[in-house]
Structure 1
């Protein structure tokens, strides 16, 4: 609206622009054509009053004539319609008052029309507030004049000028033309505005429909992505379960020395593949916003020892010196937090440090930097003497699927998701990761976390070496009647071999429907339930079992064995009535502990109650 034009350019094209609303465009047009019409009307009136030798009227109309010309040029030079509107109203009001109080000293039809014109113009051009102001400024003096004349109090020295009928006719006609022009112009603008609003509303409705379709499409796309990840996870992790499981069984079966090395390579490669799959799934879970943090009690010192225990051996095989330094003030404290996510964060940082360090040392330090009565602020730091990172790439390495350079990816491998996962996990909890690095010298990654402290004092770990614990207690599971619901024959073989080491001979059901039949007519102490199966899946099978009228059948402990990547898997397992779940590929020790825990909760004679109707293992 402030667009400048050439001084001698009188066209409306330069003062109007596409970004103006219909109303503002019509206001500019009204000013343009209204001023042109006023200019010619005032020229005729000026000639008429000059011919009649009306000095005061000639001065008033002359001022209006010159003002209309100047304001027209101002409009075409700088189209600031609000300023011009105010100037027109001020000049018009002063001229009208001078005409009423000085020139003719009366109110005739022309002055009334002039007041009406000022009222319309002020409301249409400047809105309600200024419309009221200019209306009062013009009406109050007229009413005052009427009162003074009624009381015969209005007397000035100047003799009023008497205009003839020709001047009155010209003034009345010109006023009517301007009033009609203002009304018709704004009525047209009003109609066009309504049409534009309707068109906009129709377009908005169309956009809303398209937006709803886009949302629905995005939801379907998200569901398809989730289903795809779940399917791919199941299809990749299921064979990995067999590879890792069989490798464990072969390693514990007293193989020859040359076979041990081959089996370790096989297990290591399978573990790397599983790590890549888990990274992709974990990152997708984080980005979807469906990650839920636990708040359970644990000892930070014990957790760090467990995290770094296996990593120390990996570092030693590379000839690296690995040191874990944990603040002694944390040794007796039990804190609340999510140990699984802390493990994931520290494990990724330590794994990176070992991966990118060819020689030297790895230092993991955990320091209590603030200890209050019920909270502790802990600093975690992982420092290495590895290849280091260029300063300008420190921020980039926290982006997904990005490593320090292409050569780094080729030389060291990996998905580039580890640090991205670390950063996202910390940010979701309100913490930040810091990185200090120098190429050829090494890197240090650090972050601070705050934990609520339990009033309970940590008494030390009561767990022994897990494989030895299993060996010592495997006889306690020999009498357990177990049903395995699994459609994959390779996994069935793996489970049978694994359970044989625990002196368990299981029954097998190839799908959920068969599992329900076996439970209905047989007797079991625990069920290991796969989730994705033909005929009937594990969720539906668990629901059917929980509906059974016999409480000793409906209350059978069920552990879900899942290779799925669904984000809500834990909730779905709980909703279907299952007691717990183990992710494939599972750790034998973890599965054994869960079985032992659930069976221990059964009544003392539960495993002997149905000995009169056994089910033959398949």
Structure 2
């Protein structure tokens, strides 16, 4: 039986191939079964009515037979199966009306079967709206006929035109069989789709559970990676602190010319290695969405000038002019933002400009683009006269690990992370980069940042550092467990005539502080016995208010994301990342001790 149905529905295989909806495919198959089987049904009735001499029924069935052939041809050649199904339902409706008005002139079993077929088929084939429409136009004539019939009871009679018992039995049995088949088939398809949907839902639930598990594992792996990078950061920065610190100390001891050249190369190499490490660590932080902007008030002009001053020597080594053009209205303005991330943007862009410029100049232009009572929009432009970037590569340079070309990577080195980091930081500032570049002529990078600001009476400019400045009066306690780091800090402080006291862990620092008073404490964060956080917290809780308020500068080689907040929570005043620039330490000592004296 199933094989027969498959052959019947095979008539519309081309039509089925074009339909992707399983419900519509079921409708097409159902229409094919109805048309082909009705063709057989009416064919049998034609012979029966000829044999019985029932001419009126013969005419009617012959019309249905011819119409069925035409409908099969229409559906097959035009693929208009929906229109064909409408016509089929109209034929059934017409059968109901003609039974009531002409052939039977009453309501018999055959009429009720036609009504049921047209209602069911309309809902199955065309949905709710058409189902209701066809149901109304099939049921309404019956209700009207019953209402106007002069009989006092509902009568289902044989009708005015008698037919043979065998023919009537065949018609009735066939119609019931078709009704049962339609119910069976559509329910079968519905049930199959329901089971498929249930299985799909279960598969999706299983997939979601697996995805959640995978995401959890990815998060765990990401956290482990960050923890590993943080540990590696500490392990890598500690020896670099020794290399860079000793290089700085030796360069300040009047070395011979050949020694100075060797030390400069050593320092340059170590600082380059540090930049590469910082880029990789920062990129991983951004990639893991572990970075948030701080909100700190700082002198904007001083920050910019410090950044340019720190790169001046690098530009001079390549005989380049490093120019700063800053709007005079910015003098005396303190902004509330993240100075570390802003420094990161400026350092990366100016460093890049110097790296890729062989002759000419590098310039930083900053101007006020828009200003109100509380906020101002500043436009930054870093311009150089370097190698430039070809038009088709200008977007790709902001992708991780990508440089303008393979030759650029070989010639200039680097990780290709500078500009992607800049892009990510600027996105945190709700800003974006505009790049204008011409090969062999130079590059301009432009971006805008909105700042909240406040005016101060004077413009604070960074002072050039005089290493002969007498800081010998300062008593400094250095809390550090690494012998190389101790040597670096001692030699750095000795440049300024400071002889520090050394404590190898937090517990020893507390003991030293109980014995004498210090002007500043330089506190390493990770030490045996007692770490820097715990030591700082205990110092802030001392009964002696003078000792409890001793300025503390944290020294750390860690790259933890919440390091700044943890330092503030422990009560420390400031921090320096290892390896540190002696000039930065000098400024922090000067600023802290001046503030205490005032």
CA offset digits 1:61-90 (Å, max 9, x no partner): 333323333333444446555443323212
Alignment partners' CA distance in 2, 1:556 and 1:335: 28
**Which segment drifts farther, 219-228 or 443-452?**
443-452
**Which segment drifts farther, 575-584 or 399-408?**
575-584
Alignment partners' CA distance in 2, 1:596 and 1:100: 110
Alignment partners' CA distance in 2, 1:260 and 1:426: 39
The 8 Å contact of residues 10 and 73 in structure 1, kept in 2 or not, is answered as no
Alignment partners' CA distance in 1, 2:13 and 2:435: 59
1:502 CA drift (Å): 5.4
The 8 Å contact of residues 496 and 506 in structure 1, kept in 2 or not, is answered as no
The answer to whether structure 1 residue 417 and structure 2 residue 417 are counterparts is: yes
Superposed, 1:220-231 pairs within 5 Å as 220-231=220-231
Alignment partners' CA distance in 1, 2:18 and 2:536: 66
Match of 1:145 in 2: 145
1:457 CA drift (Å): 3.8
1:116 CA drift (Å): 1.3
Name which of 560, 579, 584 aligns with 2:578: 584
Match of 1:104 in 2: 104
1:534 CA drift (Å): 5.6
Match of 1:473 in 2: 471
1:220 CA drift (Å): 1.8
Alignment partners' CA distance in 2, 1:406 and 1:273: 21
Match of 2:388 in 1: 388
Match of 1:495 in 2: 489
The 8 Å contact of residues 298 and 339 in structure 1, kept in 2 or not, is answered as yes
Superposed, 1:347-496 pairs within 5 Å as 347-454=347-454, 456-461=455-460, 464-468=463-467, 471-475=469-473, 477-478=474-475, 480=476, 482=477, 484-486=479-481, 488-496=482-490
Match of 2:3 in 1: none
Alignment partners' CA distance in 2, 1:551 and 1:65: 112
Alignment partners' CA distance in 2, 1:524 and 1:422: 44
Alignment partner of 1:150: what SS? coil
CA offset digits 1:554-580 (Å, max 9, x no partner): 887654322122222223444556554
Alignment partners' CA distance in 2, 1:296 and 1:160: 100
Alignment partners' CA distance in 2, 1:118 and 1:400: 66
Structure 2 vs 1, CA of residues 305 and 423 (structure 1 numbering), >3 Å: closer, same or farther? same
Alignment partners' CA distance in 2, 1:603 and 1:306: 25
Structure 2 vs 1, CA of residues 167 and 246 (structure 1 numbering), >3 Å: closer, same or farther? same
CA offset digits 1:404-440 (Å, max 9, x no partner): 2222222222222222222222233222222222222
Structure 2 vs 1, CA of residues 595 and 331 (structure 1 numbering), >3 Å: closer, same or farther? closer
Alignment partner of 1:387: what SS? coil
Superposed, 1:100-499 pairs within 5 Å as 100-150=100-150, 161-454=161-454, 456-461=455-460, 464-468=463-467, 471-475=469-473, 477-478=474-475, 480=476, 482=477, 484-486=479-481, 488-499=482-493
Alignment partners' CA distance in 2, 1:549 and 1:90: 98
1:139 CA drift (Å): 0.5
1:400 CA drift (Å): 1.9
The 8 Å contact of residues 515 and 541 in structure 1, kept in 2 or not, is answered as no
The 8 Å contact of residues 527 and 558 in structure 1, kept in 2 or not, is answered as yes
Structure 2 vs 1, CA of residues 379 and 103 (structure 1 numbering), >3 Å: closer, same or farther? same
Alignment partner of 2:416: what SS? coil
1:325 CA drift (Å): 2.1
The 8 Å contact of residues 558 and 578 in structure 1, kept in 2 or not, is answered as yes
Alignment partners' CA distance in 2, 1:499 and 1:312: 24
CA offset digits 1:383-414 (Å, max 9, x no partner): 22222222222222222222222222222222
1:43 CA drift (Å): 1.9
Alignment partners' CA distance in 1, 2:109 and 2:539: 95
1:146 CA drift (Å): 1.1
The answer to whether structure 1 residue 94 and structure 2 residue 94 are counterparts is: yes
Alignment partners' CA distance in 2, 1:173 and 1:572: 87
Structure 2 vs 1, CA of residues 537 and 30 (structure 1 numbering), >3 Å: closer, same or farther? farther
TM-score normalised by length of structure 1: 0.83
Alignment partners' CA distance in 1, 2:176 and 2:9: 30
CA offset digits 1:456-503 (Å, max 9, x no partner): 2451216533445x833341x22x5x35142x2211332344445553
Alignment partners' CA distance in 1, 2:378 and 2:542: 53
The answer to whether structure 1 residue 567 and structure 2 residue 561 are counterparts is: yes
Match of 2:32 in 1: 32
Structure 2 vs 1, CA of residues 580 and 56 (structure 1 numbering), >3 Å: closer, same or farther? farther
Alignment partner of 1:473: what SS? coil
Give the total of aligned pairs. 582
TM-score normalised by length of structure 2: 0.86
Match of 1:4 in 2: none
Structure 2 vs 1, CA of residues 535 and 106 (structure 1 numbering), >3 Å: closer, same or farther? farther
Q: Please list every run of 5 or more consecutive structure 2 residues that lacks an aligned counterpart in the other structure.
A: 1-7, 153-158
1:296 CA drift (Å): 3.6
Structure 2 vs 1, CA of residues 551 and 85 (structure 1 numbering), >3 Å: closer, same or farther? farther
The 8 Å contact of residues 322 and 362 in structure 2, kept in 1 or not, is answered as yes
Match of 1:616 in 2: none
1:12 CA drift (Å): 5.5
Q: Please list every run of 5 or more consecutive structure 1 residues that lacks an aligned counterpart in the other structure.
A: 1-7, 153-158, 605-618
Structure 2 vs 1, CA of residues 285 and 467 (structure 1 numbering), >3 Å: closer, same or farther? farther
Match of 2:156 in 1: none
Alignment partners' CA distance in 2, 1:75 and 1:575: 79
Structure 2 vs 1, CA of residues 9 and 147 (structure 1 numbering), >3 Å: closer, same or farther? closer
1:140 CA drift (Å): 0.8
1:143 CA drift (Å): 0.5
Alignment partner of 2:149: what SS? helix
1:172 CA drift (Å): 0.9
Alignment partners' CA distance in 2, 1:241 and 1:270: 9
1:111 CA drift (Å): 0.6
Alignment partner of 2:471: what SS? helix
Structure 2 vs 1, CA of residues 416 and 84 (structure 1 numbering), >3 Å: closer, same or farther? same
CA offset digits 1:518-556 (Å, max 9, x no partner): 58987775654434456765556667x489796869887
The 8 Å contact of residues 470 and 497 in structure 2, kept in 1 or not, is answered as no
